[in-house]
Chain A
Amino acid sequence: MIDKLFPNKILSLNNKFFIHLIFLMICVIGVGLIYALLISPPDAVQGNSVRIMYIHVPASFISISCYTVMGLISILSIIFKIKILPYIAKSIAPVGFVFALVSVFSGSLWGKPTWGVWWAWDARLTSMLILNLLYIFYILSWKLIKEFEEANKVSSFIAIIGLLNIPIIKYSVDWWNTLHQTSSITLNSAPSIHYTMLIPLLIMFFGLIIYSLIVILMKYKIEILKLKLKKK
């Protein structure tokens, strides 16, 4: 039953497909890095340390988005018991976790030259750390619990409850006084980043999103292959 529709599609994504995507990714990230590190100007206040933004912001955004998607899929999976959904949610977790780590560490590297501290227990930083922990719990529950149904229940529970953390991360800088500055790119107003810095940021965004897609698809393909082997 599971073999219908979606799983076969993912298995038809062969190496050629992935090589094309990887090639595209290398091009986009290459252009993005050249633009971000060489062409774009230093910031008037922060100088060259602003270049950490070109990794930090996309990494944070992707880790939060991945978690949101993971949580929503887990909700659907718990309610409708669609067999394939847990495998999709499970495939999204690693890349989200890696970017959550990148976000915290690049933020720390950025904090030292600008704020003067590596870490501060402010609401944005703390909620991001909690996101890291949630990812760890989620991934561990899949690794440690042997029985599939059981692992699915526990990890979905973590993913769904953890969804509450997402608006807290997003709005922490607006709800409370925080050391972290408020968002520079918002939906309802012009970005407060000069276009010479916004362009490389958007290119890096695009490149890292392609990277995430590649990793998620590869992981998902492996999950499906494992499933097929088990069935035989």
Chain B
Amino acid sequence: MLSKKVKTRLVFLGISFLFAALLTFFTLKTLKSNIVYFLSPTEVYNQNNLNFNKKVRIGGLVKEGSIINQNTSIKFTITDLKNEIFVSYEGSIPNLFSEGKGVVVEGKLQDKKYFLADSIIAKHDENYMPPEVKQILKENKN
């Protein structure tokens, strides 16, 4: 049905596309550690060759009731519900930063459990709702 020319072009394009796809796949796989924007506390915990002099980002939830404000500095705990990291930070805080919400901190690990942050980025989830609905959800939960 297809003419020979069309068939050749189809095969050629198919093979080149497949080749490019494989190339992309392996590139992304190799670069995985650079592509992930942050590590979770568990990933930090499981990593053996951590470089404590290198800047890293760690993300998770701000543990409920863990925020301690001291004039200019703030201390809190990041958790992924399995492992926790204690964070100390000095500077301005994004509006969305609050207990139980997502957060990404940038800075240096002092050890596997203690992190000195130079910046805080708030992360938000994919749920959107008006304040009244949130209130109702909260009441139903309790």
A-side residues, CB < 8 A to B, are 41-46, 50, 53, 75, 78-80, 113-117, 120-123, 160-161, 163-164, 168, 176-179, 181-184, 192-194, 196-197
Nearest-CB residue, chain B, relative to A177: B36
Q: Output the least CB separation between B120 and chain A (Å).
A: 7
A197 engages B128 (CB within 8 Å): yes
Chain B interface, DSSP helix/strand/loop, else mixed: mixed
Q: Output the least CB separation between A120 and chain B (Å).
A: 7
Chain B residues, CB < 8 A from A178: 37
A114 engages B129 (CB within 8 Å): no
B24 in the interface (beta carbon within 8 A): yes
Assess A45 versus B126: contact at CB under 8 Å? Given A78-B13, A115-B121, A116-B120: no
B74 in the interface (beta carbon within 8 A): no
Chain B residues, CB < 8 A from A182: 125-126
Q: Output the least CB separation between A101 and chain B (Å).
A: 23
CB pairs A–B below 8 angstroms (19 shown): A43-B129, A45-B96, A45-B134, A46-B124, A75-B13, A78-B9, A114-B96, A115-B94, A115-B96, A121-B37, A123-B37, A160-B17, A161-B17, A176-B36, A177-B40, A177-B59, A183-B126, A193-B127, A194-B133
- How far, in whole Å, are A139 and B95 apart by their CA atoms in the complex? 40
A42 engages B130 (CB within 8 Å): yes
- How far, in whole Å, are A112 and B20 apart by their CA atoms in the complex? 36
A179 engages B9 (CB within 8 Å): no
Residue count of chain B within 8 Å CB distance of chain A: 41
B121 engages A42 (CB within 8 Å): no
Other A-B pairs beyond A115-B123, A179-B121, A197-B130, 18, CB < 8 Å: A43-B129, A43-B130, A45-B134, A79-B10, A116-B93, A116-B96, A176-B35, A176-B37, A179-B104, A179-B123, A181-B123, A181-B125, A182-B125, A184-B126, A184-B127, A192-B127, A194-B129, A194-B133
- How far, in whole Å, are A117 and B93 apart by their CA atoms in the complex? 11
Q: C-beta contact mask, B95-117 vs A, less than 8 Å → 1, else 0?
A: 11100010010000000000000
B15 in the interface (beta carbon within 8 A): no
Tell me which residues from 32 to 53 in chain B have a Cβ below 8 Å from any Cβ of chain A.
32, 35-40
A196 engages B130 (CB within 8 Å): yes
B132 in the interface (beta carbon within 8 A): yes
A116 engages B124 (CB within 8 Å): no
Chain B residues, CB < 8 A from A161: 17, 20
B24 engages A160 (CB within 8 Å): no
Nearest-CB residue, chain B, relative to A122: B37
Name the contact of B124 in the complex, choosing from A78, A181, A194 (C-beta under 8 A).
Answer: A181
- How far, in whole Å, are A117 and B36 apart by their CA atoms in the complex? 17
Nearest-CB residue, chain A, relative to B3: A80
- How far, in whole Å, are A213 and B113 apart by their CA atoms in the complex? 54
Chain A residues, CB < 8 A from B126: 181-184, 192
Q: Output the least CB separation between B86 and chain A (Å).
A: 20
B38 engages A177 (CB within 8 Å): yes
Chain B residues, CB < 8 A from A193: 127-129
B81 in the interface (beta carbon within 8 A): no
B13 engages A116 (CB within 8 Å): no
Q: Output the least CB separation between B79 and chain A (Å).
A: 15
B68 in the interface (beta carbon within 8 A): no
Most buried by A among B37, B128, B133: B128
- How far, in whole Å, are A194 and B6 apart by their CA atoms in the complex? 50
- How far, in whole Å, are A50 and B21 apart by their CA atoms in the complex? 36
Q: Output the least CB separation between A176 and chain B (Å).
A: 5
Q: Output the least CB separation between B125 and chain A (Å).
A: 5
